[in-house]
């Protein structure tokens, strides 16, 4: 498909939208609207709103349904995993999943199916009982949290729920603005933490540079109970064959004599089945000991058979997990290509927007100043659901109304192409409307 | 086995310990100690400390390992349960498990494997964000919680963790002392709740009478954010063929115009596999709506395949769950009989202790004033681990040092008989030592 705006009658016109004269621009808008009306007439129902694996991706993990055999319910140490016990995860699961975060088994706790749930819980414990014996956050008069933007809406929702004032920190190409973060945390002891998705950030796909990782590791916050919430959700979710290798935060923090500075999180949600996976936290031994103590009040232990099921699925070999992720890549990389090719061919020469070119993760971040809400609304009216405009900012407030998170994984390639056609058409309409005023 | 104290040389002496003269008592103690030394020489390693199903009980649920077939991953409404979504449980799981608490499906939320985890979470939400929009508990200067005693140590641990002052409420034969509870909650708005195990209380095995249930349902606490934490952990865990039927708290609360007064909890932990089950909360629609709103910050949803697995295991029929519980009864009722028979034959005539005769649940509650710590210590030194003395009281403080919770389910019958022999021998030693002074 060749997009409206390029074709006016039979002549191909390729030019920046800002360079069009009024008449051309009005014709452009009119053509786009005609195309949009045609999309509407199709009664589409497409969803690009969330980072959700497709059914084909789930098929990769079907052995999870029956890889745990009837008589297979003991840990290597003989423990009966059907019964109560084992607060912090079975030893072999700790060993296996510690590889995801590049730490040792005794620096991890294995939880249930949701790393978001661990993040929420860790924060709730800090609220009610403090961090490693410190004053409970809920007893402190003012709480602030640093939020690199654009970022993950569910992170911001948790900090909003707990009453934090969230401070936007701009993202650069190599990670968040560290000058700003270093300055703020050194000065203000009401700042208790920072949200990070260090590998293929949500939604920008940024891979924090080693320098940024090291600067995080060496942070000297005024607040003793400050923690980096390092959500490594996409640590093995590459879209390229030779993925970037990143410095390890906990390792760097140890070198800096600062090992208690961080909590790291990961899960199998986008590796096996999102609803039925395994999640882990990694942190210094001090942090882990303190968390385990608190954890003992909250549960007797998580589903240990599901931990064993995952070990059986990967045959206990981490290289099998890596190989498994390569199959995911084969399924989703073509979808990312559809999004990028459509944006490239339809919008690039118009010079109305920019977008990311991620090497991994689940999202493409799209920016068109002053147009995000309008584009999302236009898409919705044509049957294409996107993540809400503003969702990637604290309080849903995107100051420039520019960012839209595109999630290409769930739809089929055909659906995705259709959705992207609607998207670029909507982007053009929004841009033209804005110029015409 | 006939116990020491009854047999002095060849003469059978049956008398109250308090009626023995000094010489007889010293001979009694000496005989008991000889028997105790013989137990010690056996190097026993027996555990009666926790309410844990035995391997034979777990065998009842082995179909859970493979009843969910490879292609069986959709809810009745077609939803793919492998993927993200469904915060409050799949509809058929809500429908099924609502039967456990005698409520309707829309009065429940289905969680992961731990009802303790729900209780903790509900309380943590109240701490940080208040109850149904009320002032967060953590922002209130003083917090108290009512604790019927003896009770469940993990309940008390949660309230202690959150900094509550715990107030002991005596248990009567029909439930907690309601006069005291009604008076206290009407006067004191720092009292935020009460722990209850209404059916086969832990450890006393008390079944709250309908009158007690109705008085709970009609409570008029001064604190608007007061809640009854109704842990119906043993609601289907009967030891007799014609179990008692109890009035339903939520139903009674509705009649009293008081439906928001309670949270009710249950789980399959002692029905299928303790480590890998399903837990639920039930409450008024107002409470459920408020909890669901909070829950959305804490997770994307619990393991839905495990919900389906449980439905398949019971073939979706609640009567199958009831029949399944009858098989548990067949396995554990003989164990309760061993405990009761041993206590009866060995201790009754000595008149040194009392114990419960539960119709269900997991425990026998044993009382011997001033001797609990000594008995537990003696048992431990002879290789029999019991729940710690004092564990059934807040702060581990049993004012009369009298209560010991006996958990007969986990050991084999042979092990249990051996453990009980050690137990009654220890009880006799403790009693005699106390009388001799």
State whether A306 and B303 contact (CB < 8 Å).
yes
DSSP per-residue string spanning B128-160 = HH-STT---GGGSS--EEEEEES--HHHHHHHH
Please enumerate in sequence order all residues whose Cβ is within 8 A of that of B367, keeping only pairs 6 or more positions apart, or say none: B353, B354, B355, B402, B403, B404
Which ipTM value was assigned to this complex? Answer: 0.95
Q: What is the pLDDT of residue B142?
A: 97
Which pLDDT belongs to residue A437?
87
Determine the Cα–Cα distance for residues B268 and B314; give it in Å rounded to an integer. Answer: 12
B161 touches chain A (CB under 8 A): yes
Going by C-alpha positions, the residue among B297, B294, B298, B295 that lies closest to residue B134 is B294
Distance from CA of A6 to the nearest CA of B (A): 40
Q: For residue A70, what is the nearest residue in chain B, using CA coordinates?
A: B65
Distance of CA B111 to the CA centre of its chain: 19
Dihedral sign, Cα of residue B322, residue B326, residue B332, residue B334: positive
Residue B369 has pLDDT above 50, yes or no: yes
Which residues of chain B are within 8 Å of residue A121 when distances are taken between CB atoms? 298
Percent of chain A whose pLDDT exceeds 70: 97
Per-residue model confidence (pLDDT) at position A28: 96
Q: What is the pLDDT of residue B380?
A: 98
Question: Which residue of A80, A162, A298 is in closest CB contact with B120?
Answer: A298
What pLDDT, on the 0 to 100 scale, is given for residue A228?
Answer: 98
Q: Do B83 and A53 touch (CB under 8 A)?
A: yes
Residue A13: pLDDT band (50, 70, 90) is: low
Hey, is the C-beta of B112 within 8 angstroms of any chain A C-beta?
yes
The Cα B5–Cα A208 span in angstroms is 76
Return the DSSP state at A270: T
CB contact under 8 A, A84 and B269: yes
Q: What would the pLDDT profile of A271-291 be if each residue is shown by its tens digit?
A: 999 999 999 999 999 999 999
Q: Does A244 touch chain B (CB under 8 A)?
A: no
Confidence band, pLDDT 50/70/90 cuts, at residue A1: very low
C-beta separation of B192 from B147 below 8 A: no
pLDDT at A10 over 60: no
Neighbouring C-beta atoms of residue B318, cutoff 10 Å: 15
Predicted local confidence at residue B437, as pLDDT: 87
Chain A residue closest in CA terms to B155: A297
Q: Which of B138, B301, B303 sits opposite A139 (nearest CB)?
A: B138
From B47, B55, B85, B58, select the one nearest B268 (Cα to Cα): B58
* Residue B82: closest CA among B308, B323, B343, B357: B308
Residues from chain A that touch B78, judged by Cβ atoms under 8 A, are none
Q: Are A25 and A366 in contact (CB under 8 A)?
A: no
Alpha-carbon torsion, ordered B212, B214, B217, B222, to 10 deg: -70
Return mean pLDDT, chain A. 95
Q: CB distance from A34 to chain B under 8 Å?
A: no
Confidence band of B9 (pLDDT split at 50, 70, 90): very low
Distance between CA atoms of B130 and B138, rounded to whole angstroms?
Answer: 8
Residue in chain A lying closest to B85 (CA): A275
| Contact residues for B390 (Cβ-Cβ < 8 A; gap 6+) | B372, B373, B396, B397, B398, B401, B403
User: Residue B200 corresponds to which tokens in the numbers above?
Assistant: 């086969």
Q: Does the pLDDT value for residue B6 go beyond 50?
A: no
Residues in B closer than 8 angstroms to A114, CB to CB, are: 299-302
pLDDT band at B13 (very low <50, low <70, confident <90, very high): low
Whole-structure pTM value: 0.95
**pLDDT higher than threshold 50 for residue A5:** no
pLDDT above 90 for A432: yes
Encode pLDDT of A130-153 as tens digits: 999 999 999 999 999 999 999 999
Q: Is A60 near chain B, with CB under 8 Å?
A: no
State pLDDT tens for residues A25-79: 999 999 999 999 999 999 999 999 989 999 999 999 999 999 999 999 999 999 9
Contacts of A129 in chain B (CB under 8 A): 161-162
Contacts of B267 in chain A (CB under 8 A): none
Q: What is the per-residue pLDDT across B74-112, written as a single tens digit (0 to 9) for each?
A: 999 999 999 999 999 999 999 999 999 999 999 999 999
* Contact residues, B window 125-154, toward A, CB-based 8 Å cutoff: 127-129, 136, 138-139, 154
pLDDT digits (tens, 9 = 90+) for A70-129: 999 999 999 999 999 999 999 999 999 999 999 999 999 999 999 999 999 999 999 999
Chain B's closest residue to A273, CA to CA, is B82
pLDDT beyond 50 at A364: yes
Taking Cα atoms as reference points, which of B41, B3, B39, B46 lies closest to residue B419? B46
**CB spacing of A275 vs B162 below 8 angstroms:** no
The answer, yes or no, to whether residue A365 has pLDDT greater than 60, is: yes
pLDDT digits (tens, 9 = 90+) for B22-50: 999 999 999 999 999 999 999 999 999 98
Rounded average pLDDT over B405-409? 97
Q: Is the peptide bond before B150 cis (omega within 30 degrees of 0)?
A: yes
Average pLDDT rounded to a whole number, residues B322-336: 98
Q: Rounded CA gap, B206 and B363, in Å?
A: 10
Q: Cα(B280)–Cα(B89) distance, rounded to whole angstroms?
A: 9
Percentage of the residues of chain A whose pLDDT score is greater than 90: 96
The dihedral through the CA atoms of B208, B210, B214, B215 has a sign that is negative
Indicate whether A253 pLDDT > 80. Answer: yes
A74 near B CB under 8 A: no
Q: What's the rounded Cα separation, in Å, for the pair B357 and B363? A: 9
For B240-258, the pLDDT digits (tens) are: 999 999 999 999 999 999 9
Name the DSSP class of A259: G
Q: Is A65 in contact with B85 (Cβ distance < 8 A)? A: no
Chain B touched by A161 (CB under 8 Å): yes
Chain A neighbors of B301, CB-CB under 8 A: 114, 275
Stretch B129-158: mean pLDDT: 97
Which tens digit of pLDDT belongs to each residue from B268-277?
Answer: 999 999 999 9
**pLDDT beyond 60 at A324:** yes
Half-sphere exposure of A411 (CA within 13 A, CB side): 25
B88 Cβ neighbours under 8 A, 6+ residues apart = B94, B108, B109, B110, B288, B292, B295
Helix A318-347 vs helix A413-436: angle between axes, to the nearest 10 degrees?
40
Residue labelled with tokens 């694996």: A53
Unique residue bearing structure tokens 């014996």: A133
Cα angle value B117/B121/B127 (rounded, 5°)? 145
Q: B113, A62: Cβ pair inside 8 Å? A: no
- Is there a contact between B275 and A85 if contact means CB atoms under 8 Å apart? yes
User: What gap in Å lies between CA A348 and CA A302, rounded to an integer?
Assistant: 49
Report the pLDDT averaged over residues B297-310: 96
Residue B421 has pLDDT above 60, yes or no: yes
pLDDT for the residue B42: 96
Q: Which two tokens stand for residue B184?
A: 């206290």
For B325-375, give the DSSP string: HHHHHHHHHHHHHHHHHHHHHHHTTTT--EE---SBSS-EEEE-TTTHHHH
Which residues are CB-contacts of A434 (< 8 A; sequence separation ≥ 6)?
A: A370, A371, A374
Closest CA to A272 of A231, A230, A307, A229: A307
Confidence of residue A259 (pLDDT cuts 50, 70, 90): very high
Q: Among the listed ranges A189-203, A397-411, B11-25, B341-355, which one has the minimum average pLDDT value?
A: B11-25
């Amino acid at each position: 498909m060749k997009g409206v705006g390029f074709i006016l009658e039979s002549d191909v016109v390729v030019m920046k939208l800002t360079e069009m004269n009024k008449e051309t621009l009005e014709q452009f808008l009119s053509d786009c609207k005609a195309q949009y009306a045609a999309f509407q007439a199709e009664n589409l129902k497409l969803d690009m709103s969330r980072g959700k694996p497709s059914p084909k991706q789930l098929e990769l993990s079907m052995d999870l349904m029956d890889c745990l055999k009837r008589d297979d319910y003991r840990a290597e140490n003989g423990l009966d995993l059907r019964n109560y016990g084992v607060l912090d995860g079975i030893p072999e699961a700790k060993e296996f999943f510690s590889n995801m975060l590049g730490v040792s088994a005794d620096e991890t706790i294995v939880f249930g199916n949701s790393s978001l749930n661990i993040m929420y819980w860790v924060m709730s414990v800090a609220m009610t009982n403090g961090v490693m014996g410190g004053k409970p956050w809920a007893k402190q008069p003012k709480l602030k949290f640093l939020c690199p933007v654009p970022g993950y809406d569910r992170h911001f929702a948790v900090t909003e729920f707990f009453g934090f004032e969230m401070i936007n920190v701009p993202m650069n190409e190599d990670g968040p603005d560290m000058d700003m973060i270093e300055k703020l945390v050194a000065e203000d002891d009401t700042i208790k933490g920072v949200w990070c998705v260090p590998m293929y950030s949500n939604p920008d796909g940024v891979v924090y540079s080693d320098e940024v990782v090291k600067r995080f590791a060496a942070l000297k916050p005024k607040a003793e109970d400050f923690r980096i919430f390092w959500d490594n959700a996409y640590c093995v979710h590459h879209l390229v064959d030779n993925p970037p290798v990143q410095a390890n935060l906990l390792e760097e923090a140890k070198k800096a004599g600062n090992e208690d500075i961080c909590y790291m999180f990961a899960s199998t949600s986008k590796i096996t089945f999102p609803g039925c996976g395994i999640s882990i936290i990694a942190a210094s031994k001090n942090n882990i000991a303190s968390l385990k103590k608190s954890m003992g009040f909250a549960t007797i232990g998580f589903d240990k058979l599901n931990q064993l099921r995952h070990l059986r699925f990967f045959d206990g070999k981490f290289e099998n997990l890596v190989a498994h992720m390569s199959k995911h890549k084969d399924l989703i990389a073509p979808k990312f290509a559809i999004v990028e090719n459509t944006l490239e061919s339809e919008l690039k020469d118009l010079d109305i927007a920019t977008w990311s070119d991620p090497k991994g993760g689940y999202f493409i971040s799209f920016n068109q100043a002053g147009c995000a809400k309008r584009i999302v609304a236009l898409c919705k009216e044509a049957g294409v659901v996107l993540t809400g405009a503003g969702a990637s900012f604290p309080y849903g407030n995107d100051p420039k109304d520019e960012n839209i998170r595109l999630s290409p994984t769930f739809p089929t390639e055909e659906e995705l192409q259709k959705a992207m056609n609607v998207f670029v058409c909507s982007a053009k309409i929004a841009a033209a409307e804005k110029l015409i005023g």
